[in-house]
Amino acid sequence: MKDSPSLEPMLPTLVKAPFSNPDWIFEPKWDGYRAIFFLENGNVRFSSKNRKSLTQRFPELQGIPNSIKAETAILDGEIVALDKKGVPCFAGLRSGKVANQCAMVFYAFDLLNLNGDDLTQKPVVERKAILKRILPKQDTCRVRYTEHIAGDGERLFRELEKRKLEGMVAKRADSIYVGGRTRA
């Protein structure tokens, strides 16, 4: 499973206002670096949305394979630095000075491949259900599952605003994974 030019991350399209719709799921947008995570033979690799290696930049994340129930996997997510209150601290992430102030974690929100099976043609809600099963149940590890809510994007957006988080991402519940910018 090598980094491949054909593995382009699925990117959202900006909209002017939050919305609610029963055909959509809504997730928090973490204030971090978007990354594709590759697990193969116990080795970890991270690739940015521009297909540049992030592996050496985040050595704290090398222990993630011990927390994932898979031999091989490709996950989509975001590398985030969290302060002692569990709030993203992007300044610490950018400066690299996170050792004492912030904990480095990978928030996974999609599963593209599991043990050699391509999952990109399955609906996102199915991929997320499988992802949740292979990740730790507790948010105490360096890899964490990104929860979502179905239908009520406006409520989630209000909650994220209260917490002063970056924003949210809306996804059609039945969408397959396609690289590039999409309205799904």
Pairing of strands 167-172, 149-150: unpaired
Catalytic: 29? Answer: yes
Given the residues 2, 29, 69, 171, select the one marked as catalytic. 29
Measuring CA to CA, how many Å separate 80 from each of 22, 50, 96, 113, 144? 29, 17, 11, 22, 10
The backbone torsions φ and ψ at residue 70, rounded to the nearest 5 degrees and listed phi first, read -165, 150
What is the distance between the alpha carbons of residues 77 and 106, in angstroms, rounded to a whole number? Answer: 7
Is residue 24 within 8 A of residue 173, CB to CB? The reply is yes
Q: How many CB atoms lie within 10 A of CB 26?
A: 24
Is residue 38 within 8 A of residue 1, CB to CB? The reply is yes
Positions annotated as catalytic residues are 29
